[in-house]
Amino acid sequence: MSDKELAAAERRILARGNLPRHVAIIMDGNGRWARRRGLPRIAGHRAGLGGVREAVEGCAALGVEYLTLYTFSVENWSRPAAEVRALMSFLRQTLRKEVRRLDDNNVQLRAIGRIADLPEAVREELARAVDSLRDNTGLTLVLALSYGGRAEILDAVERLGRERGRAGAPAGRLTEAAFRSYLYAGEVPDPDLLIRTSGEMRISNFLIWQTAYSEIWVTDVLWPDFKRQHLYQGITEYQKRERRFGGISAAGKRKT
């Protein structure tokens, strides 16, 4: 898409209203992209940075409030040690190099997951990036790092148990609202739209609690080939859907 076509698409999306407040993306297909070109897997991850920029800048242009990217899962630690080292080195370099670009787009940065499991150098770079962007007021970019949906729920249960086990801690019935406060970022609203690239039809242990009622849009595009036009396709599809959250449609109500 040309810049003119993208601008027109943005105007159409904004005119429709009903924008997702929070978009979450499973960035899949880096390895396949590299393999098809006879390149090492890390080359696919490096190429995938382009998709990250397209998603961040597209969401920022539309006024989306939150974008969560499934960056590195708890299961990814089981990959070959050389690949994990390369990924951690690339993550550190990317955090350092992309801060200015994020700042130019008024983006805040957060991270969720078992951050303590990351190498110290990565944790330090991440902390510097988060701190340098903390005063921005636009899109909040959330990186899911050493993240797993089941791990998050287990960690929340452990935190809840410790807190309620303390002397004088209030008991009472546990509500959904109370439980979500123990999640990694309980104050962040649930994703309205979950996008997955590469055509796979699964959520891969990503935001299990939070995506209970998310609209899902899947594209066959591999993540390194993901462009702003694909993001806009997903959001346009989202705008056509009626979210009922277990209820019935407005049309159904009129018939009864």
Residue 136 exposed, middle or buried by CB count within 10 Å (0-12, 13-18, 19+): middle
What is the distance between the alpha carbons of residues 215 and 234, in angstroms, rounded to a whole number?
10
Tokens matching residue 123: 């944790």
Residue 136 confidence (pLDDT): 98
Mean pLDDT by 10 residues, the chain (256 residues): 90 94 98 96 96 98 98 97 96 97 97 98 98 98 98 96 75 87 96 98 97 97 98 97 70 53
For residue 116, what are the contacts with CB-CB under 8 A and spacing of at least 6?
123
Vertex 98 angle, CA 95 and 101, to 5°:
150
For residue 11, what are the contacts with CB-CB under 8 A and spacing of at least 6?
none
Q: Concatenated DSSP letters for 86-98?
A: HHHHHHHHHHHHH
CATH for 21-241, options being 3.30.1130.10, 3.40.1180.10, 3.40.50.300, 3.40.1160.10: 3.40.1180.10
pTM of the model: 0.93
Q: How far is CA 241 from CA 41, 60, 237, 248, in A?
A: 36, 22, 7, 13
Residue 155 is given by DSSP the state H
Q: Which residue has the tokens 């609202």?
A: 177
Residue 256 confidence (pLDDT): 47
Residue 253 confidence (pLDDT): 55
Residue 222 confidence (pLDDT): 98
Residue 1 confidence (pLDDT): 80
- CB burial of 49-72 (b: ≥16 within 10 Å; e: otherwise) equals bebbbbbbbbbbbbebbbbbbbbb
- Residues that are catalytic: 28, 76
What is the distance between the alpha carbons of residues 154 and 186, in angstroms, rounded to a whole number?
14
Residue 246 confidence (pLDDT): 66
Q: With contact defined as beta carbons under 8 Å apart, do 222 and 197 qualify? A: yes
What is the distance between the alpha carbons of residues 110 and 245, in angstroms, rounded to a whole number?
28
